[in-house]
């Protein structure tokens, strides 16, 4: 007997169909006959939302009335993906929806496809925030996600004839969006600019302008918890009236300028990943959402109180700073406490440091945000004063802990000199209780290198919480076939809220019949993906080849170029006749990646991948043996389709550069094997699934350091390895650029002279492991056995476990009482 614990609403299909009809009629004003799938999508979404409403309201009331500290997850990005299927799952209405929609004469897939995905994030950091709020709700922990409702999400990517990335605006709000509720009655004022004056012995900020922050609320339904939390995304509006006098002088642009300036703040998500640019507006965005969120939390937890006792604030809510983007919240809370509520410095500092915690998501020095003090002074003059004061207090404090003058200097929050800079990561460590990295190796490197001085003096603040992913979206919704098989294998579906139960599949890896079923699931997923890719992109993929995917932001440290060089070498092997047809194990290589628009080398790499794909896919000599596809505009939806269909996943960053990775977890949980370096969470995945079930290659962190220290010369590797040499020469001689030798010359020059991330040094070991990979793939039963062992041992990588670690190590709170 299989035990089913998934939520199931008592309402019938007929009742749900009626609710959809009612929405169509009374909200949208269309009959079923007139309705399009997009109409039905809106109607069904509104209907599901109504089913979640009671739980939503009760959760909010319990949160305010109870004694359980809430979590405020402050994040500039929430990469939510589509909402409808997730809401249906958690409301227990999936079956009713599928049937009702068919009864109304629609294909449910068309209705689900009508949803436009909100893409309010760049990559891993934003998707992690979305997984975390899902897990918080599923564990019944009261929480707010706080962020920005950007009008334009991450750019929509396309490729031109030359294979270059083109960025198009992503106006995701162009269509009706049924999930966000705009709450004009709960708006907050956010001030900017002006000056600070001494008045009656106090510092008083006289801002020059202000904008209105209006919350747009999204439900975050928990799985089987009966709880629905809130994602509150702020949108910027103007208080200023349209200036009719100016308009009457025919000066339209100036008449609307105040509105335009205000609304610009939430206009667009910065498409940078790791390289900060466009400083001013970004700082405005950061302050905008953080200031509104802090005031909102005070409003929520001290309703109707003019003089709340804010010494209890850290018992009401703990704010997690998702990277440095919201760190301006630290001086903001200080300002609110001192200037708005009259607390003294020490009390305010005590409250503030007990309220905030900081998660660092990077190891790249250039990704640690630094703001020019001048810019902060211009936009937030009072905050700059407070930051200097924090800096002074902090330097005094550490002077009591160490005599090492150089160390004290290195730890300044604000640097000295003509153009002083505020280091937001340092401010976050000083102004919060805990600092965590996102995988064990990453947290260790933060302590040993990036934040070493801080860890020496404040070791107790440092901890690790390894990332995780939500099994609801990334197994249940993305991979229904595997979900059913897991439930069959375990005899229960409880694994969806306790992912460690997957361990129970381990014995089944010795049962050949079960492994065959597991292999059939993978094959069926590959067929589905091939159909999807044909429909969406016009690709012809053969599901009987190995599907080998590399999906992540395009960055040199992630080393898409290692993959492409190895692929060219393989292409050359086949062309040269070095391999007989029988030697070649047919592969389909799939890339998904966006590059920051201003990142030249990354964009050139995209162009190279596209042109290699063009040449390889059109070469009759390799037909059926090697194919390369690069579906454009990789997003959460594509991830949900591709991950379940992948046999082999690439996690090949240079050791010591990828903080964690979360794609690696999604793949392992969906039965792909990983080829990877000892970097980020790969280390922990390999530990858990077993070294024999993971394709490890490449230098370790220590070896990388040694080689840097010794002096790294990439040209030697090029000279020493004829396959590598040939691959690079083919790029140089125009094989992939219609004979033009210049197109990719900058890439080649970089590899041969700098190669900062040591792609060439790891080429040998990367290509060597390919023969192990292919040998295993030739014995499908053994391949799938190992893949199943990966699934069975990856339960640790549930974001539920990450949240439990945060609760225990950092937040010190838990679920609401029933």
Q: How far apart are CA 552 and CA 595, in angstroms?
A: 10
User: Closest Cα partner for 647 from 788, 480, 798?
Assistant: 788
Query: With binding defined as CB under 6 A, does residue 7 bind ligand 26V?
Result: no
- Collapse the DSSP code of 319 into the 3-class scheme (helix H, G, I; strand E, B; otherwise coil) and give the result: strand
Query: For tokens 């603040």, what's the residue?
Result: 461
| Residue 370 C-beta: closest distance to ligand 26V, Å | 11
Encoding tokens for residue 278?
Answer: 């466009």
Q: Are 656 and 701 in contact (CB under 8 A)?
A: yes
Distances (CA, A) of 540 to 524, 637, 639: 16, 20, 19
Piece in contact with ligand 26V (CB under 6 A), picked from 312-320, 417-425, 526-534, 660-668? 660-668
Q: Residue 716 and residue 431: Cα distance in Å, rounded?
A: 47
Distance CA 431, CA 330 (A): 6
Coil vs helix vs strand at 78: strand
Burial of 319 (0-12, 13-18, 19+ CB in 10 A): buried
Q: Which is nearer to ligand 26V, 362 or 464 (CB)?
A: 362
Secondary structure, 3-state, 551-604 = ECCCCHHHCHHHHHHHHHHHHHHHHHCCCCHHHCCCEEEEEECCCCCCCHHHHH
For 392, the token pair is 């002074």
Q: Give the rounded distance of the alpha carbon of 136 from its chain centre.
A: 16
CB of 685 to ligand 26V, least distance (A): 12
Q: Which of 325, 382, 472, 558 is catalytic?
A: 558
Among 377, 592, 661, 676, binds ligand 26V (CB under 6 A): 661
Based on the residue annotation, tell me whether 784 is a catalytic residue of this protein.
Answer: no
Q: Which structure tokens are listed for 683?
A: 């280390």
Kindly state whether residue 597 participates in binding ligand 26V, applying the rule CB under 6 A: no
CB 167 within 8 A of CB 353: no
Q: Any residues with CB less than 8 A from the CB of 809 and at least 6 apart, and which? A: 434, 436, 463, 465
Tell me the C-alpha distance between 85 and 82, whole Å.
7
Give the residues across from 722 on adjacent strands: none
Which range binds ligand 26V by CB under 6 A, 195-203, 268-276, 471-479, 616-624?
268-276
Does residue 276 touch ligand 26V according to CB under 6 A?
yes
Structure tokens at 636: 């959460």
Could you say whether residue 680 binds ligand 26V (CB under 6 A)? yes
Cβ nearer to ligand 26V, comparing 21 with 558: 558
Catalytic residue among 85, 361, 383, 786: 361
Under rule CB under 6 A, how many of the chain's residues touch ligand 26V? 23
125 binds ligand 26V (CB under 6 A): yes
Name residues whose C-beta falls within 8 Å of residue 482's C-beta, 6 or more positions apart in sequence: 475, 518, 521, 525, 644, 670, 671, 791
Min dist CB 428 to ligand 26V, Å, is 14
Asked whether position 122 contacts ligand 26V by CB under 6 A, the answer is yes
Query: x/- binding map, residues 67-106, to ligand 26V, per CB under 6 A?
Result: ----------------------------------------
Binding region for ligand 26V (CB under 6 A) out of 52-60, 265-273, 500-508, 576-584 = 265-273
Is 644 an interacting residue with respect to ligand 26V (CB under 6 A)?
no
Name the minimum Å distance from CB 432 to ligand 26V.
17
φ/ψ bin of 221: left (φ > 0), alpha (ψ from -120 to 50), beta (otherwise): beta
Tokens standing for 398? 């550490």
Residue closer to ligand 26V (CB basis): 163 or 680: 680
> Which range touches ligand 26V (CB under 6 A), out of 7-15, 120-128, 758-766, 810-818?
120-128
Task: Indicate whether 167 belongs to the interface with ligand 26V (CB under 6 A).
Answer: no
Near ligand 26V by CB under 6 A: residue from 119, 422, 659, 776: 659
Piece of 258-266, 273-281, 614-622, 797-805 that binds ligand 26V (CB under 6 A): 273-281
Closest separation in Å from C-beta 271 to ligand 26V:
8
Q: Which stretch in 11-19, 98-106, 576-584, 658-666 sits in contact with ligand 26V by CB under 6 A?
A: 658-666
Q: Give yes or no for residue 652 binding ligand 26V (CB under 6 A).
A: no
**What is the 3-state secondary structure of 133-176?**
HHHHHHCCCCEEEEEECCCECCCEEEECCCCCEEEECCEHHHCC
How far CA 133 is from CA of 112, 275, 552, in Å, comes to 22, 26, 22
SS3 428: helix
Query: Would residue 552 show up in a list of annotated catalytic residues for this protein?
Result: yes
With CB atoms as reference, the residue minimizing the distance to ligand 26V is: 124
Please say if 662 is a catalytic residue. Answer: yes
Instruction: Select from 37, 72, 81, 123 the one that contacts ligand 26V (CB under 6 A).
Output: 123
Q: Within 13 Å of residue 78, how many CA atoms lie on the same side as its CB?
A: 27
Q: Which is nearer to ligand 26V, 135 or 770 (CB)?
A: 135
Enumerate the β-bridge partners of residue 370. Answer: 423
Selected binder of ligand 26V within 658, 755, 762, 800 (CB under 6 A): 658
Which C-beta is closer to ligand 26V: that of 63 or that of 131?
131
Nearer to ligand 26V, 283 or 788 (CB): 283
> Is 666 known to be catalytic?
yes
- Smallest separation, CB 368 to ligand 26V (Å): 9
Residue 596 CB, shortest distance to ligand 26V, in Å, is: 9
Q: Does 286 bind ligand 26V (CB under 6 A)?
A: no
Instruction: Please classify residue 795 by burial: count the beta carbons closer than 10 Å to its beta carbon, then call 0-12 exposed, 13-18 middle and 19+ buried.
Output: buried
Q: Which stretch binds ligand 26V (CB under 6 A): 171-179, 272-280, 697-705, 771-779?
A: 272-280
Using rule CB under 6 A, residue 595 touches ligand 26V: no
Q: Answer yes or no: 558 catalytic.
A: yes
Residues near ligand 26V (CB under 6 A) are 122-125, 128, 270, 272-274, 276, 282, 323, 361-362, 367, 438, 467, 658-662, 680
Which residues are catalytic, by number? 361, 552-553, 558, 662, 666
């Amino acid at each position: 007997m299989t035990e089913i614990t998934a939520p199931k609403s008592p309402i019938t299909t007929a009742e749900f169909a009626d609710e959809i009809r009612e929405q169509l009629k009374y909200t949208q004003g269309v009959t079923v006959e007139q309705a399009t799938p997009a109409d039905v999508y809106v109607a069904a979404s509104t209907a599901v939302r109504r089913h979640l409403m009671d739980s939503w309201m009760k959760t909010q009331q319990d949160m305010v009335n109870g004694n359980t500290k809430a979590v405020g997850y402050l994040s500039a990005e929430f990469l939510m993906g589509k909402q409808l299927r997730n809401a249906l799952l958690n409301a227990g209405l999936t079956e009713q929806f599928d049937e009702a929609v068919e009864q109304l004469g629609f294909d449910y897939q068309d209705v689900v496809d009508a949803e436009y995905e909100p893409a309010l994030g760049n990559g891993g950091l934003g998707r992690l925030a979305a997984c975390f709020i899902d897990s918080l709700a599923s564990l019944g922990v009261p929480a707010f996600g706080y962020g920005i409702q950007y009008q334009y999400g991450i750019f929509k990517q396309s490729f031109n004839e030359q294979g270059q990335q083109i960025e198009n605006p992503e106006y995701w709000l162009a269509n009706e969006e049924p999930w966000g509720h705009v709450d004009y009655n709960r708006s907050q004022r956010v001030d900017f600019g002006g000056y600070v004056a001494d008045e009656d012995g106090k510092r008083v900020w006289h801002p020059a302008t202000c904008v209105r922050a209006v919350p747009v609320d999204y439900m975050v339904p928990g799985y089987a918890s009966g709880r629905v939390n809130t994602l509150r995304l702020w949108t910027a509006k103007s208080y200023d009236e349209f200036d009719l006098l100016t308009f009457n002088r025919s000066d339209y642009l100036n008449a609307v300028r105040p509105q335009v300036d205000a609304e610009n703040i939430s206009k667009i998500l910065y498409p940078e990943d790791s390289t900060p640019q466009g400083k001013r507006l970004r700082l405005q965005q950061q302050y905008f959402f953080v200031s509104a969120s802090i005031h909102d939390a005070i409003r929520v937890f001290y309703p109707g109180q003019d003089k709340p006792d804010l010494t209890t604030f850290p018992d009401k809510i703990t704010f997690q700073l998702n990277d440095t983007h919201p760190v301006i919240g630290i001086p903001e809370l200080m300002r609110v406490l001192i200037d708005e509520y009259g607390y003294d410095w020490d009390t305010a500092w005590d409250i503030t440091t007990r309220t905030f915690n900081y998660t660092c998501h990077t190891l790249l020095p250039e990704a640690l945000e630094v703001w020019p003090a001048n810019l902060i002074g211009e936009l937030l003059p009072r905050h700059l004063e407070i930051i200097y004061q924090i800096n002074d207090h902090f330097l005094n404090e550490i002077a009591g802990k160490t005599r090492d003058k150089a160390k004290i200097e290195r730890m300044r929050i604000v640097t000295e000199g003509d153009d002083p800079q505020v280091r937001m990561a340092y401010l976050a460590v000083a102004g919060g209780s805990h600092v965590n990295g996102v995988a064990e190796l990453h947290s260790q490197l933060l302590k040993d290198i990036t934040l070493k001085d801080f860890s020496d003096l404040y070791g107790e603040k440092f901890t690790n919480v390894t990332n995780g992913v939500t099994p609801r979206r990334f197994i249940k919704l993305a991979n229904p076939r595997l979900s059913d098989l897991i439930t069959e294998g375990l005899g229960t579906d409880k694994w969806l809220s306790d992912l460690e139960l997957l361990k129970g599949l381990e014995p089944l890896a010795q049962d050949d019949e079960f492994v065959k079923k597991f292999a059939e699931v993978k094959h069926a997923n590959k067929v589905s993906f091939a159909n999807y890719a044909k429909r969406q992109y016009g690709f012809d993929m053969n599901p009987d080849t190995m599907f080998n995917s590399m999906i992540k932001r395009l960055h040199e440290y992630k080393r898409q170029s290692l993959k492409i060089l190895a692929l060219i070498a393989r292409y050359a092997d086949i062309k040269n006749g070095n391999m007989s047809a029988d030697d070649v194990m047919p592969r389909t290589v799939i890339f998904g990646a966006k590059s920051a628009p201003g990142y030249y080398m990354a964009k050139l790499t995209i162009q190279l991948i596209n042109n290699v794909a063009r040449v390889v896919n059109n070469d009759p000599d390799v037909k059926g043996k090697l194919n390369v596809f690069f579906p454009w505009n990789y997003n959460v939806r594509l991830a949900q389709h591709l991950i379940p269909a992948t046999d082999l996943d690439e996690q090949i960053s240079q050791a010591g550069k990828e903080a964690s990775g979360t794609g690696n977890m999604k793949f392992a949980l969906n039965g792909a094997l990983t080829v990877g370096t000892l970097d980020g969470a790969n280390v922990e995945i390999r530990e858990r699934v077993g070294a024999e079930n993971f394709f490890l290659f490449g230098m370790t962190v220590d070896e990388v350091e040694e080689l840097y220290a010794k002096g790294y010369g990439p040209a030697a590797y090029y000279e020493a390895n004829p396959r590598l040499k040939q691959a690079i020469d083919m790029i140089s001689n125009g094989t992939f650029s219609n004979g033009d030798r210049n197109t990719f010359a900058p890439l080649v020059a970089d590899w041969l002279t700098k190669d900062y991330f040591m792609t060439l040094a790891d080429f040998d070991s990367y290509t060597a492991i390919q023969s192990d990979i292919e040998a295993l793939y030739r014995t499908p039963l053994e391949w799938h056995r190992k893949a199943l062992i990966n699934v069975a041992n990856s339960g640790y990588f549930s974001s539920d476990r990450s949240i439990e670690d945060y609760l225990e190590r950092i937040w010190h709170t838990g679920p609401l009482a029933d």
